[in-house]
Chain A
């Protein structure tokens, strides 16, 4: 390899939540990325790249973790990455103002045996709090290279690349010297016993040439080595020194994990003889007292860390640290804290819907303009399938989702400001008392709040809940938080069926009802689906700090972009699919001819009057007064106006009849007809059925579908003609039932997919069925009861 060839290294950024990892990531890669001051903001791992001379670094931002156990999804994700993705270097970001707790993770990372660089971050904050440390002596004690930095300004990061390369060199060399943390005598004895057994085993495997059959992770740990996979050019010097498998430390790590009874290591462990030996070790060690071994080992690690910190940290606490505690006196107060909290939540929603309304209106106008502009390309053939696909399918479908982008961005900006300043964790503490009554925890609160924006990021946000039971329960009820996509349904139906003074309370009631159903359902789900208690709240309250508009904006933008991507992929696909379902099969020629003949007849009549009907598409009736006086017919202008109006109405009716016939004949219409005998009990006819089936893909599709059914052309929720038609066709009772059904039943396709991904397919299916059945039977009950009271007229 020549000297100027590009070298490539993979770096994993690891650290506690709130240690400033993501800020450093942004500083290094330049990618504007969200930084949250709340445990587990990083739900997806984000990658970025940067270059230093002829070395290319790929940076992966792991979720914030406290430890390398497997009790939270974030920890599993981070550990799996470190074990199976083979990063060349771990960059461990450490919050200098909270050294003890952060070094606890550092020592565990060190035990993995991957070259590690420690970045002592937020040193400015630590100094402001009266802490001073000797980082040189710290580096000697933990036997890892250290650089100091201030992530927010980028101070100290200019030597980052060189330090990483240095750490790689040291780490690789260190691999063979084998300096690592020692535990107390008895534990150490058992470790070396297992270590020797694993060593013997790995030698045997090596000679058997079977190593490749072993499960991922274990295989890597046993065979060791930095990746030399195809297509990756690892610096030869480092690679060479890795040729002798540096398995010693990883063997030790495995032995330690077996003694800790680590779930995932034990599960993937398929050497029964060593497993038996390990359980013997565990028995001997735990006989002395009841505490689990892992906690005991953790306590030893902490004791080690404390000893290290005692020597290198000087603590002269200033008054500054008290400020956050003082704020908490009010903000976590059982009464004042709660009042402030609800005021804050009210503000968030007010901003989302009141402020967001203006840009939404603008976007809707834009959507209309784009639709009309696209229509221009098919002026000659308005019945072209391609036109229909582009305008009715893609622009109407994707557009109706995109118009809610401002709401989504505002809601997420508000949430990320609250997250970043540290208030969200307090919210979790304040709401925990109520939520535990319903089988949830305070940590369920944030995902549920996000759910009012969109269920998809909300379900992903549940990763912060370590306890599996309350996580699943939270996921289960998230669709009951009325998301932004259901808003247009309410905005179409509520004004259509309720007098104006009832509209606000009804809308408010819908949201409250959703929350109430969620509370009941989560209670039932946790009581009857899971065994055992739901784990209690345990959350770090990070010190308050000033949120920056830049990071909040960046996060809102990122979430918004995710939403746009969803619209561009899932919703686009679904729109096309749904368009196809409501277009094909097309009406047979003989039936289509009937409408065409009508159309021709109408056009002939208008032709006889010397009038181009198309020119009157958007014309108000009064405008007929402006008809050209030099018209060859001698009738008065009013007479002509009446004739034209009548022709227009006939044409409109004919078009509507044709559209209905087409829809009825299409797949969607047939499905609607097929379910009509069942949904009839809830007061729904086949047209509503088609709309609701459409809403299964994305809730807001309902509005567009009702528009198609009643062929009003371009429809939005403010569409007055559609509201009039609905009022003429259905009773308020039916309207209420549709709202209820939309609120509770059938979470949208994107939600189902993300739930299946985040929990299991079975759970997603159970959720879908449960919610749909509840929604349907609630609608039936209300409809039948209303009919009994004769409210249905």
Chain B
């Protein structure tokens, strides 16, 4: 399942990222790497998502959430 399809309030674990290297490293720096646990604070039909991770909130665009495989 991709992150874009996760409903609000669900806690999921990032499995893999299918983006480019720059994005992956940028996400890793924010604590968003495979194995990290995140909570979806806001989801939308378009796929934009607000995540909670390590006491921080992050907004992710739809292209990105579609490239993030979670479980």
Contact = CB atoms under 8 A, between A and B. Distances in A.
B29 A328 contact: no
B26 A71 contact: yes
A541 B16 contact: no
B35 to A, nearest CB: 6
A429 B57 CA distance: 12
Interface in B7-57: 16-17, 19-31, 33-36, 41-42, 44-46, 48, 50, 52, 54-57
B57 A541 contact: yes
A72 B33 CA distance: 18
A538 B31 contact: no
B58 A104 contact: no
A533 B63 contact: yes
Contact of B57 (A67, A432, A433, A540): A540
Nearest to A317: B55
B5 interface: no
A469 to B, nearest CB: 11
Contacts of A324: 57
A104 B27 CA distance: 13
A536 B54 contact: no
Contacts of A467: 22
Residue among B41, B59, B64 having the largest count of chain A Cβ atoms under 10 Å: B59
Contacts of B30: 66, 101, 538, 540
A98 B30 CA distance: 12
Interface stretch (A151-159, A291-299, A411-419): A291-299
A295 B29 CA distance: 8
A69 B57 contact: no
A104 B63 CA distance: 26
A539 B62 CA distance: 13
Contacts of A100: 31, 54-55
Contacts of B29: 66-67, 69, 104, 298
Contacts of A433: 46, 48, 62
Nearest to B41: A325
Interface in A534-556: 535-543
Contacts of B48: 429, 432-433, 537
A87 B59 CA distance: 34
Interface string A271-304: 0000000000000000000111011101100100
A428 interface: yes
Contacts of A442: 59, 61
A332 interface: yes
Contacts of B61: 432, 436, 441-442, 536-538
Contact of A101 (B23, B56, B63): B56
Nearest to A321: B55
Contacts of B22: 71, 466-467, 535
The residue in B20, B22, B57 that gathers the most chain A C-beta atoms within 10 A of its C-beta is: B57
Interface string B58-71: 11111111010000
Contacts of A334: 44-45
A400 interface: no
A536 B62 contact: yes
Nearest to A432: B61
A295 B65 CA distance: 18
B59 A425 contact: yes
Interface in A513-565: 532-533, 535-543
A328 B24 contact: no
Contacts of B24: 291-292, 294-295
A101 B26 contact: no
Given A97-B55, A328-B57, A436 B41 contact: no
B25 to A, nearest CB: 5
Contacts of B56: 98, 101, 540-541
Contact of A67 (B20, B25, B42, B67): B25
A381 B21 CA distance: 70
A292 B16 contact: no
A98 B50 contact: no
A104 B34 CA distance: 16
Contacts of B52: 325
Q: Which 9 A-B pairs have the closest CB atoms?
A: A67-B29, A537-B61, A536-B61, A536-B64, A298-B28, A536-B63, A429-B59, A541-B57, A295-B28
26 contacts: A104-B31, A291-B24, A294-B21, A294-B24, A294-B25, A299-B34, A302-B31, A324-B57, A325-B41, A325-B52, A328-B57, A332-B59, A334-B44, A334-B45, A432-B48, A432-B59, A532-B20, A533-B63, A535-B22, A536-B64, A537-B61, A538-B58, A540-B58, A541-B50, A541-B56, A542-B57
Given A299-B35, A436-B62, 18 more contacts: A67-B25, A67-B29, A101-B56, A291-B33, A295-B24, A295-B25, A299-B28, A299-B33, A302-B33, A302-B36, A329-B42, A332-B42, A428-B59, A433-B46, A533-B63, A536-B60, A536-B67, A537-B59
